[in-house]
């Protein structure tokens, strides 16, 4: 996959919830190469390694990309200190994105917490043919709720404590829908590993195609350092290790060994 490295200005910065930031970044080069599900590697001050962040929007008409990230440690903490019109050193787009079906296909988008941003471009592409199920710890952690509504998708919001939307896990809602006879053409999921594992199980049980976006700690981000291994099934029944940065981050759910 072609990628570029360059210095790009932040056009807008927004604080979506405590410790979650949304940057709109001007980059015609990256926007013109990117696919939903791909990520960028961003250089942050004082850190030898870039930090991987998924693309939360790709706008070719207006030449920008968007990232939404949560402060987890020092690297994302430094990133959050950048302001509008500061420049970011970005490498991307990287990795393998989601398989895009014709937009009239029925899909489910399942997102957990800070795993929801990469689903935004899919929600825009599939519009009313997508059912979006997102889950968060509580009402204060909810992000991108209005964003999903604007695409006229069916959007079901869940919180663990019931402080907003339905009380429970996204996978409970997905199970109820599939058990009730709904048969989407594809399930896409991004979020914490236990959530992805359950989505993969449900996809297998109900025989539905499913793609999941995996996260591993990364160094180079381009397949050169063997730093982001993920155990996978081979076609001959053996197991192997794939690079999340190069072979993923999006995998068919049948490929991944949890
Ligand atoms: C392909 C990919 C896409 C990503 N997209 C996003 C995104 O859109 N938004 C977002 O907020 N975050 C995203 N992440 C996670 C983000 O890269 C990490 O939170 C960040 O690198 C942590 O850096 P730090 O220096 O702030 O924290 P560190 O001090 O490095 O780590 C803080 C904590 O986060 C954990 N952590 C660090 N890196 C990862 C990782 N790659 N996966 C899981 N846990 C990690 C550490 O184990 C530790 O507990 C993505 C990661 C990958 C691999
Ligand atoms: S991060 Fe170096 S191989 Fe994936």
pLDDT at 140 over 80: yes
* pLDDT value at residue 150: 87
* pLDDT value at residue 201: 97
Q: Find the 103 Cα to ligand 2 centroid distance in Å.
A: 32
- Tell me: is residue 52 an annotated ligand-binding position: yes
Identical fold, 4-94 and 98-213: no
Domain-wise residue ranges, the chain: 4-94, 98-213, 216-258
CB of 237 within 6 A of ligand 1: the answer is no
Q: What's the pLDDT tens digit per position in 145-160? A: 999 988 888 999 999 9
Q: Which CATH architecture has domain 4-94?
A: Beta Barrel (2.40)
Q: Which two tokens stand for residue 48?
A: 């030898």
Q: What's the pLDDT tens digit per position in 193-207? A: 999 999 999 999 999
Q: Find the 243 Cα to ligand 2 centroid distance in Å.
A: 6
- Tell me: is residue 53 an annotated ligand-binding position: yes
The mean per-residue pLDDT over the stretch 83-112 comes to: 97
In this structure, of 136-145, 191-200, 231-240, the range with the lowest mean pLDDT score is: 231-240
Ligand 1 atom with the shortest distance to the CA of 215: 53
Which ligand ends up closest to the CA of 71? 1
- Tell me: is residue 248 an annotated ligand-binding position: no
| pLDDT band at residue 38 using 50, 70 and 90 as cut-offs | very high
Q: Which CATH superfamily is domain 216-258 in?
A: Dihydroorotate dehydrogenase, electron transfer subunit (2.10.240.10)
Say if domain 98-213 classifies as CATH 3.30.70.260.
no
């Amino acid at each position: 996959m072609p990628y570029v490295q360059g210095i790009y200005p932040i056009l807008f910065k927004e604080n979506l919830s405590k410790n979650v930031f949304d940057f709109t970044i001007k980059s015609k080069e990256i926007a013109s190469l990117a696919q939903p599900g791909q990520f960028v590697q961003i250089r942050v001050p004082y850190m030898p390694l870039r930090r991987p962040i998924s693309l939360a929007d790709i706008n070719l008409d207006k030449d920008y990309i968007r990232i939404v990230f949560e402060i987890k440690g020092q690297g994302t903490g430094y990133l959050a200190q950048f302001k509008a019109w500061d420049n970011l050193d970005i490498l991307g787009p990287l990795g393998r994105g989601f398989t895009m079906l014709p937009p009239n296909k029925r899909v489910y988008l399942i997102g957990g917490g800070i795993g929801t941003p990469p689903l935004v471009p899919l929600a825009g592409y599939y519009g009313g043919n997508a059912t979006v199920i997102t889950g968060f710890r509580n009402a204060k952690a909810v992000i991108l709720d209005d964003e999903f509504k604007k695409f006229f998708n069916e959007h079901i919001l869940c919180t663990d404590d019931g402080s907003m939307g339905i009380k429970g896990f996204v996978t409970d809602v997905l199970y109820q829908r599939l058990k009730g006879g709904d048969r989407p053409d594809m399930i896409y999921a991004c979020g914490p590993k236990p959530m992805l594992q359950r989505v993969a199980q449900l996809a297998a049980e109900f025989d539905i195609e499913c793609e999941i976006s995996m996260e591993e700690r990364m160094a180079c981000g381009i397949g050169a350092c063997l730093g982001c291994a993920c155990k996978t099934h081979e076609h001959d029944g053996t197991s192997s290790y794939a690079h999340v940065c190069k072979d993923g981050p999006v995998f068919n759910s049948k490929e991944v060994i949890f």
